[in-house]
Structure formats: C-alpha cells, structure tokens
Amino acid sequence: VETHTASVEPDERPPACCFDEWASHNAERARKRGTAAPITRHLLAALEAQGLEDKTVLDLGCGTGDLALAALARGAARADGIDLGAGAIEDARSLAEERGFADRATFSVGNGAVDPLARHDVVALNRVLCCYPSVDHLLANSLGAAGDVYAYTAPIHTGPIGLFNRISIGVGNAWYRLRDQKFQGFRAFVHDLDAVDRAIVAAGFRKAHGAHRRVWQVAVFTRTDV
Ligand SMILES: C[S@@+](CC[C@H](N)C(=O)[O-])C[C@H]1O[C@@H](n2cnc3c(N)ncnc32)[C@H](O)[C@@H]1O
C-alpha cells in the first residue's frame, strides 16, 4: 500500500475504473436518504464554520456531487464538480436537476491533477486523495484553484487506525489485482497526510480544523495571505 506522497507522473486519461458502478449505488443511496455520507456531513459542518454562504465551491473528485449539492443547500452561490467518471457526472447532474440546483451547479468529466481548474472560494477533495496515485500533482493543481479555503478527507495514515487502513486497503488492492480486467489497474492509497498538510501550508494556508472520524482524517485550511 502506498504510504508516501507519490510523485509518479499523472496519467492524463486514467481509467474511470469501477467508479461508475459505485456512483450509481451512491446516487440511489443519496435519493433514499437525501443526506450525504457521514464523513461528508462532518466535512460540510467544518466548511460551514468557515462560511459557505455565497461562496463558490469546487468539489474535486465529486462522484455523484454529494458535497457540491449539500453546499448549495447550505447557501453556497455556485458549486462545480469534476470527476474522472462519466457515469458519476451523469448521476450528479440528475441529482442537481431533482433537487432544483441545476442553474447553480455544473458537473464535468475531467482529471483534477492535470486539467486547468477555475478559481473557487472553496476547494474540497472529499475521499479523493486515496483514489489517485499522483497526490502531489493533484494537490499542486487544485491548490492553484483555491481562493480562501482548501479541504480534504482521506484515510488516516498513522497509529492503529492507519495500520487498519493499510491492511484493509491492501486487501482491497489484492482484490483489484485479481480482477484487473474489471478494475483496469485501479489501486487505492494510504498517503502520508503529514506530507499532504505540509504541501498545503507551503501553498499559503494554515490548518483551521483537523479531526479524525472513524477511518478518515478531515482537514480544513484557510488562506493566511488574505
Ligand atoms: C471514493 S470516490 C468519492 C466521491 C465523492 N467525493 C464522495 O465523497 O462521495 C473518489 C472519486 O474521486 C474521483 N477521482 C479520483 N482521482 C481523480 C482525479 N485526478 N480527478 C478527478 N476525479 C478523481 C474518482 O473518479 C471517484 O469518483
């Protein structure tokens, strides 16, 4: 399992892998529950504490747009989502229509590590760093788009929970390797989040919120130079 900040060159068109299938389950769950995943709700509360009202939000690696749509429901002016998976983006667009947010939300297929990203007040990567190998490219590109706030959730990498994450993600990767045709080379990662935090701080942010929730680290950073 990858435990360091990977510096491999980003693949411009990485396979969207299994996420279309995951996305359609996620969209169904979102329709039934009408609420985001527990970790997404925690991240939203931390973002709200920094102020979401009238902000523009980039939900990078948006999946079915859980965070983007919830941010709009909490008063954000606009929300844009980008994801590698065309199926996820279709589901996000349908959910935006169903919830009456289509005029304030855009969802597009793209690679957040290499595609040009428009500046947004808030940039969030919710459960995304663990699904992409070139975390330093993803960080560098997305930090350049962050106006006031930068946030992520990612698997904890230290202590007993870090060990648990490395084992469970390692088992998952063994399964992906066995079924490589279906998963198209996809692997999950437990990145070094201390290195991630250092990169965010070096880009001009300070940590405003940090917490552990089950297997996830939640971190929200605000700009120091505003
Ligand atoms: C575990 S899902 C999380 C989706 C959503 N953020 C959520 O929490 O419901 C990870 C998502 O990140 C997307 N992703 C991974 N690397 C990406 C990249 N470089 N650019 C855009 N999306 C990416 C995947 O396609 C996938 O939909």
Mean pLDDT of 115-119: 98
What is the DSSP pairing of strand 216-223 with strand 146-155? antiparallel
C-beta neighbour count of 170 within 10 angstroms: 14
Q: Are 225 and 202 in contact (CB under 8 A)?
A: no
DSSP 8-state class, residue 191: -
What is the DSSP pairing of strand 205-213 with strand 216-223? antiparallel
> Counting Cβ atoms within 10 Å, is residue 124 exposed (0-12), middle (13-18) or buried (19+)?
buried
Q: Are 141 and 117 in contact (CB under 8 A)?
A: yes
- Residue 203 alpha carbon to ligand 1 centre in Å: 22
* Ligand 1 atom nearest residue 126's Cα: 6
With a cut of 50, say whether residue 4 has pLDDT above it.
no
- Residue 209 alpha carbon to ligand 1 centre in Å: 22
Answer whether 128 contacts ligand 1 (Cβ < 6 A). Answer: yes
- Predicted confidence (pLDDT) per residue in 12-38, tens digit: 556 556 677 888 888 888 888 865 688
- Predicted confidence (pLDDT) per residue in 106-115, tens digit: 999 999 999 9
Element (H, E) at 56: strand 56-60
Give this prediction's pTM.
Answer: 0.93
* Selection from 122, 112, 142, 130 nearest residue 71 by Cα: 122
Answer whether 135 contacts ligand 1 (Cβ < 6 A). Answer: no
CA distance 44 to 46: 5
- Predicted confidence (pLDDT) per residue in 185-218, tens digit: 899 999 999 999 999 999 999 999 999 999 999 9
* Selection from 144, 73, 82 nearest residue 110 by Cα: 82
In testing the pocket of ligand 1, which one of 33, 83, 139 has its CB within 8 Å of the most ligand atoms? Answer: 83
Spatial strand order in the sheet of 205-213 = 105-109, 78-83, 56-60, 120-126, 146-155, 216-223, 205-213
Query: If you take atom 25 of ligand 1, which residue's CA is the nearest one?
Result: 84
Q: What is the pLDDT of residue 120?
A: 98
- Local structure of 193: helix, strand or coil: helix
> Counting Cβ atoms within 10 Å, is residue 159 exposed (0-12), middle (13-18) or buried (19+)?
exposed
Q: Are 127 and 153 in contact (CB under 8 A)?
A: yes
Apex 74 CA angle, 71 and 78, nearest 5: 50
With a cut of 50, say whether residue 7 has pLDDT above it.
no
- Residue 63 alpha carbon to ligand 1 centre in Å: 5
Q: Are 188 and 154 in contact (CB under 8 A)?
A: no
Answer whether 107 contacts ligand 1 (Cβ < 6 A). Answer: no
Q: Are 121 and 147 in contact (CB under 8 A)?
A: yes
